[in-house]
Structure 1
């Protein structure tokens, strides 16, 4: 049996042995790390970041003629539902009355049964002849009465003695009979429905054999010779126009910018639109061609007055926040809140800032731009 005193004395010796072994292992790891450490020297330089490159366009202040652009709908001057002026059964539907047909003014479209209207004309002619006979008799009676008073050498006491009231009634009866005959003839003529103006038949509402009443719609006719437009302008755009505007010519363009014709300003500016509170210009298209179609939206380019000290810059130079960045003579950025006068295509014209110019306008501004930031300017390629 071992001595307990001997076991107690051996435990501290083992603890110190493990501690010495751990210290030796740690020292070996440290030596290994030191030997394998990358001893390459890294030199840290406190150099500033290079200034960003900014592409600019040099623009000098100049006098510019304002161009006001707006979109408007081409509308036919005459656009109406052609309605029947008389009642009756449709006996003829001409091919020109079919939807999609292009007709000239005066082209027959429908024929309505005319028997009752021919009868009315005959009755009106008879009434006119009877009225003329009554007038002849009244004239003859007046003539005989005048001669009788002349033979006796006396003065007629009044118009009644000369039969003048009967003459006046007979004259009015003839006038009434003539008007009734003219009305009957007009109704007879209205049994043939003709196009009142040239244009396209867009819709046909009735068919052969159908009985229509007076005022019933027959076809819808849209003018193909005369077009008009209405352009709405704000107060700022209105101020850019060269007044008076009536009689001025404007250029019409497609939405892609291709010119398609001209229009003349007929009138405008006399009142504000009650919904938009804008001024209106009324235009008539000059000599429309086949390329102009009713219902199309076209761009109207109106030449306005000449404005001094302006800059015309690319639209890309305007940021979303509505600013323009200028590179000054010290190659530092300067922010400008421009007064935009008008836009024309991909260009916009602004009032020139105070100074002599020319100005270097950043054409591709970045969201990271800051006022006073130094940049490396680079001129834009032509």
Structure 2
């Protein structure tokens, strides 16, 4: 056989031989499976808080705008030229009750008083003359010895009554003239502040002209909406029986950052007589006494304020952080190193705290760390706890 023929058969035979050798090696040296011991289950590190019953005073959040107790228009009751205005008669000016704010030119009214006084003197003179004539008529009747009772005309009774009526009319006109003269000095009806003025010195005004808008400064009020669910937690002012002894006033704290950090204290003085038709909520009215006694006065009419109404104190409340409640319905409890999902019913809550009505018991550990959707039975490690629990030891 030539070389080409030998090469043609040798190559396939070599491949078959190599394959056979490889198979023999694999059969004589089978792979061995190596098993490692199970690893410890991963545990979530959480912070917990032991639940304790303790007294808790509820503070209901609300809001409103500052409004005056009394706001009215200072009005002129006479006409004339303004000859005087008070230095306090300007926007923002403070005034006291009875202070003369504006004076109208009184000369015409003084003249009318003198005319009315003269008319009264004439009426008094006429009355005196008619009284004397009536007495003389009665004496003449008796002197003449006439029998019977004289009629009114003989005794000049109608003339006497007319003279009395004229005098009474003159007295009334004098009183009206003096009242008009007195009204040329427009006085403050109460202690307050100018909200806005409409006239100035030299201006001619007529009767019923609005001179300024004013409001009282003895106290201000704030109208506060109250959620229906919060009403049982508040000591509302007595309404059903006005003769009942007054309860302890409900305190209200007000906050504003309009001009720095501001704070005022007031009381809840009443509730409105009807439910608001738009919000279907009851509104309470709080009062801040002497709000302008600060120097300088910081509170402003129309200012928006946040309010905290101090409610009832619950003697044995279960309080937990509001952030520990998921979807508003459940929390996580840690027991023996394992998580438990627990449904709860909330009695009341604010941005920070929540009071639990049902679902938790005193002594249990509530999980404070934020968790996702974790199933009950998940092992956890409590931060700050050195010794593992039985469940943790079994897991290890």
Which TM bucket (shorter chain)? Answer: 0.7 to 0.9
Of 266, 270, 275, which residue of structure 1 is paired with 2:269? Answer: 266
Check the 8 A contact 2:218/2:289 in 1, yes or no.
no
* SS class of match (2:235): coil
* SS class of match (2:47): strand
* SS class of match (2:300): coil
Unaligned runs of 5+ in 2: 20-32, 240-245, 386-396
Check the 8 A contact 1:324/1:337 in 2, yes or no.
yes
1:266–1:130: structure 2 CA closer, same or farther, 3 Å change rule? farther
Offset, 1:112: 2.3
Of 346, 350, 353, which residue of structure 2 is paired with 1:347? Answer: 353
Instruction: Work out the CA distance in 2 between the residues paired with 1:212 and 1:89.
Output: 6
Q: Residue 98 of structure 2 aligns with which residue?
A: 106
Q: Residue 4 of structure 1 aligns with which residue?
A: none
Instruction: Work out the CA distance in 2 between the residues paired with 1:287 and 1:299.
Output: 19
Instruction: Work out the CA distance in 2 between the residues paired with 1:363 and 1:340.
Output: 19
TM-score (norm 1): 0.73
Of 311, 319, 322, which residue of structure 2 is paired with 1:315? Answer: 322
Offset, 1:95: 2.9
Of 73, 83, 96, which residue of structure 2 is paired with 1:81? Answer: 73
Instruction: Work out the CA distance in 2 between the residues paired with 1:238 and 1:318.
Output: 23
Offset, 1:326: 3.3
Q: Residue 36 of structure 1 aligns with which residue?
A: none
Of 340, 345, 353, which residue of structure 2 is paired with 1:333? Answer: 340
2:370 maps to 1:365: yes
2:190 maps to 1:197: yes
Check the 8 A contact 1:266/1:284 in 2, yes or no.
yes
1:364–1:169: structure 2 CA closer, same or farther, 3 Å change rule? farther
Of residues 136-145 and 103-112 in structure 1, the stretch that sits farther from structure 2 once superposed is 136-145
User: What does 1:49-68 correspond to in 2, within 5 Å?
Assistant: 49-68=41-60
Offset, 1:164: 4.4
Offset, 1:323: 3.5
RMSD: 4.1
1:242–1:220: structure 2 CA closer, same or farther, 3 Å change rule? closer
Instruction: Work out the CA distance in 2 between the residues paired with 1:370 and 1:127.
Output: 103
Instruction: Work out the CA distance in 1 between the residues paired with 2:343 and 2:218.
Output: 50
* SS class of match (1:187): helix
Instruction: Work out the CA distance in 2 between the residues paired with 1:161 and 1:48.
Output: 133
1:54–1:111: structure 2 CA closer, same or farther, 3 Å change rule? same
2:270 maps to 1:275: no
Offset, 1:327: 0.9
TM-score (norm 2): 0.71
1:140–1:265: structure 2 CA closer, same or farther, 3 Å change rule? farther
1:325–1:94: structure 2 CA closer, same or farther, 3 Å change rule? same
2:175 maps to 1:174: no
Instruction: Work out the CA distance in 2 between the residues paired with 1:162 and 1:139.
Output: 10
Offset, 1:55: 1.8
Unaligned runs of 5+ in 1: 1-9, 11-15, 28-40
